[in-house]
Structure 1
Amino acid sequence: MDDAPTEGGVYPVPTIAAAELAVLREMCEADSMPARLAQCSISELFRLVEGASFLDAPGALNHAQRALASRLNGKRADELRELLGATDDFGSAENRVAALAEPAFSPEGQLSVATAGSAAGPPALQQHSSLSGMAVTDDAKEAALGMVDVGTLAELKGVSRSWLALARRVLCSRLSRCEGQPAPTHMAEITDLNIKVLVDAGRPWEAAAAGRMLPNLARLHWEGFEVNVAAVREVDLDERDEDEEPSESEPRFFEGPAKTALLSCIEGEGEPPLELLLAAVACAGSGEIHSIPVQMMRDDSVSELNWNSHRFLGFEGAMLLAYLVPVMGALTSIDLSNNNLTDYGTNMTVVKKLAAALGVNGGLTKIE
């Protein structure tokens, strides 16, 4: 830990200027974020976070975190690099793109194209040019990003190699840390994943990526619900009641024996949200459901998808595709021409999500 005592038993104390102490006092006394924080530089906000953390002033810390998040949230990597005064040191555009494309749950010790050239492993977090003269601890830097949203943290990975390391630590801690345990540092150490945070961040396809990339993933979490990943793998998704007739217009997903079996894999009070069921299937579902080859799509063993001659997908099927298509590097063609998804009225947001998912997959050359 950065605040561990020295051999002489002395704890390092950050230097807090009188002006900063005055701002911190105002922050402690204010019910809402003080207006003067809007005038603080990025480096000053980091210093205020460190001071608030050292003084154990949660109210001041909350104000500083919110102020910093308001400056960063919604920015893309290039904008963040300029705002933070950082230098692009990835060495090539390919390395930068690889850093931005990796899953949000990638831990700090995960080797990527961005760090593959270093025999010593991931780069150490260095002081940023915008933070010159500000000896802020690594713990303070992580705390400062406590209210920055997941999408922006993912964009921070494309700022520089040091910001990549910091963003990985913050994201992996937020998504995969188990209570009382340190954040995982390698893929094999990740056993739990907060899938709601990823879905809320507009990254539902990371459920499928997790199923492919995390060999020891055991549980998915969603506000009071917990999914047993191993149990989901055993569910026959295509199982239905013997007297059930296939629908030719709007198929019902997760009905009959298949739904009962899937629900038995989820602990929690009440009915799990549809998004969680879809995430569970995308992550660990075997075989196929309603003509969607879930396992083959997750394993990236499909180059063409054609629903032109199949039963209609329905909006739930379209949602499931949005969870799977972005992780399919081998996919080059998808045909949805006989699926009039716009007929689903209030579910137009689903159509938009599917369109966004198709856009994430840069390998698609044919979409109908």
Structure 2
Amino acid sequence: MIIFLALTVIASLSRSMLIGIFSGVIGVWLSLVGDYSVSDGGNGKTRLMFDFMEPYLFDGFSLLPVLIGIFGVSTILLEAEKGVKTDLNNNRVKLGNGIGFKLSVYKGRLTNLIRSSFIGTFVGMLPGVGGSAASVLAYTQEKNFSRDSSQMGKGAPQGVMASESANNALTGGALIPLLSLGIPGDSTTAVLIGAFTLQGIQVGPLFIPENTDTWYIMMTALVFANIVMFLVMFFAIKHIAKVVLVPKHILFPLIIMMCVVGAYAINYGIMFDVWTLLIFGVFGYIVQKIGLEVAPLIIGFILGGSAEVYFVKSLESFGTFEIFFTRGPIAWVLWSLIIASVMFSIVMAVKNRGKSDVREDCK
């Protein structure tokens, strides 16, 4: 039900609710490609593919090459379509005027920081979702609530704050299922399980009472790491920002090369991950050109497989759909949140439609 709650957000991630839902369905469909494992309640056979594709797609599409392809390669293709000529003098002017950082940029944006951090923490609690989903959800919610969203996507401070605060909050949220249930929230906490095992520490409900010192050290290190990260980036950002001075005809090939190397190295040298990167790079380009939405598609792809697994396991454990309504206050709280999320999506869709009508009348 928690994953279903996250999926309902798809409806509000797009300018058009119908397009958003359709894009999300495509993402869910892509997530189901591969072997339907017996351990997940399936029949052990592959699905949604031709026979000759089984050696490559037995485990489905790897998540990170898909994300790099859609967010990296497709963006390069869209930018290359506009041309690779760069006005370096204009970039220098922008860099010179905008390099200063002031704490006053946070003025009036406390609500955005708190809301985005809460979203990141909540998404971190969902096993296997990851930081991309948290950043997209927080960014989209800020775009929906913002009075002026015209600068969103162009480096607006509120957009950067939303996505990055959610991404940072995800780390703490991912520790909740790890330390309380022994279930990793993301790839980082999955590595932590191995580290704890090597030290003879068992994660789960008894972790905190049996390892109090370790618990306090982890919390202190988490706070200290955020402070150090801020200081390091505060002094490094003026140098990092100079990347905009690199001509596009040099920058784009370098980015593509790093994307390919990264995709190849993710699963220790699987060439099909590179093909996945390129396929989804072109696919993401086509999706955006025909008017579909990338964010709902990605959310559907990330959550689709987990939604199926936990849905089937829930039915196997209880036998009927009553399990989703008879688990006491927790079930009803989740249903209330799901209904609220759906209603919010409908209200935002009507609101956006009203804004579109006003623009048309003005024209």
**TM-score category by the smaller chain?**
under 0.3
Q: Which has the higher strand share?
A: 1
Q: RCO (CA 8 Å, sep 6+): is it higher in 1 or 2?
A: 2
In our comparison, the structure showing a higher alpha carbon Rg is: 1
Q: Which has the higher helix share?
A: 2
